[in-house]
Structure 1
Amino acid sequence: MREKVEQVLDKVRPMLEADGGNVELVNITDSGVVQVRLVGACKGCPMSQMTLKNGIERIVLKEIPEVKAVEAVQE
């Protein structure tokens, strides 16, 4: 499943990189929660929660039904 998640994240990376940010896959829990770390400009952006939920999570859930949620983890 990790490879599938990375492939989906590769689809959203150009949008994030255009604004000076990126996303890293940290972990996938046994319960189907994808944990990511927002980096670069995304790390401290006030809109990062919206980017995570309305962008990254929406696309991951659509493409990989077995994923239950996407959440950001801090360093």
Structure 2
Amino acid sequence: MMPFTDEDLRPPVSSIIESKVAPMLARDGGAIELLDIKDGRVFVQLQGACVGCSASGSTLKYVVEKELKAAIHPDLEIVNVPQGMENKLEEI
């Protein structure tokens, strides 16, 4: 069980994404946006060169999720939101 509320998670998750993940993706022409956090699930959307990149799934799992789990809580889960699904997170 997650010992934090979704509101508690937003500042540290946002900080890690902005300071560590986004600059790394930007070097390859990509970007990432934090859309929401619900029940310990971090909803992000990959953008730019990351869209359609064959390594994007590995990047999310082994870079972004690993960083968030190590820094915040091991039960966090990262979810990539496909283009056009931003308003349908409950369906993902």
Tell me if both proteins adopt one fold, taking TM over 0.5 as the criterion.
yes
Residue 37 (structure 2) pairs with residue 28 (structure 1): yes
Percent identical among aligned pairs is 39
Structure 1's 68 and 61: CA in aligned 2 closer, same or farther, altered over 3 A?
Answer: same
- Which is bigger in relative contact order (C-alpha 8 A, separation at least 6)? 1
Structure 1's 24 and 67: CA in aligned 2 closer, same or farther, altered over 3 A?
Answer: farther
Structure 1's 61 and 67: CA in aligned 2 closer, same or farther, altered over 3 A?
Answer: same
Give the superposition deviation at 1:71.
Answer: 1.0
Moved over 4 A (4+): none
Q: Number of matched residues?
A: 74
Structure 1's 20 and 71: CA in aligned 2 closer, same or farther, altered over 3 A?
Answer: same
Structure 2 residue runs without a partner (length 5+): 1-8, 84-92
| Distance in 2 between residues matched to 1:34 and 1:46, nearest whole Å | 21
Residue among 52, 60, 65 paired with 2:68 = 60
Alignment-mate amino acid for residue 9 of structure 1: I
Q: What is residue 74 of structure 1 aligned with on the other side?
A: 82
TM-score, normalised by the number of residues in structure 1: 0.91
| Distance in 1 between residues matched to 2:75 and 2:16, nearest whole Å | 12
Alignment-mate amino acid for residue 42 of structure 1: C
Q: What is residue 3 of structure 1 aligned with on the other side?
A: 11
| Distance in 1 between residues matched to 2:76 and 2:59, nearest whole Å | 17
Q: What is residue 39 of structure 1 aligned with on the other side?
A: 47
Structure 1 residue runs without a partner (length 5+): none
